[in-house]
Amino acid sequence: MLVQRYVKNPLLVEGKKFDLRLYVLVKSFDPIEAYLANEGLARLCTENYRMPTKDNMKNMFMHLTNFSLNKNSENFVAPTENFLNEDNGSKRLMSSLWKVIEEQGYDIT
């Protein structure tokens, strides 16, 4: 099941919408035992966000963070072999994203 709601005033990174991919290992359900990975992925849109209007609402590169979609954008920045140390791609490690968010003045603790 998928449930979602459009966020009118999203937190932006470098002017772009993003999503996070967190990874959880569920060891058992009864009793529940789960482990959250220390690292995850962040996927960024490839065009700067603007509030949706009838003129830009169909611009998927601005409003959707889907990697398979954004990799077709002319603004897409592909991860390289140095992915673990990069902080400028359209797909990044979550720890890299936290640094940018912190630089924007947000407390990430």
pLDDT tens digits, one per residue of 20-56? 999 999 999 999 999 999 999 999 999 999 999 999 9
Residue 11 falls inside a structural domain: no
How far is the C-alpha of 99 from the C-alpha of 61, rounded, in Å?
24
Type of residue found at 7: V
Q: Which amino acid is at 37?
A: A
- Per the DSSP assignment, residues forming a β-bridge with 93 are 41
Helix (DSSP H) and strand (DSSP E) numbers for the chain = 3, 5
The pTM assigned to this predicted structure is 0.81
* Total domains present in the chain: 1
Range of the domain at 57: 18-103
43 within a domain of the structure (yes/no): yes
Q: What pLDDT does 55 receive?
A: 95
Q: Provide the β-strand partners of residue 32.
A: 29
Residue 6 in domain:
no
- Report if residue 77 sits inside a domain: yes
Residue 99 lies in a domain: yes
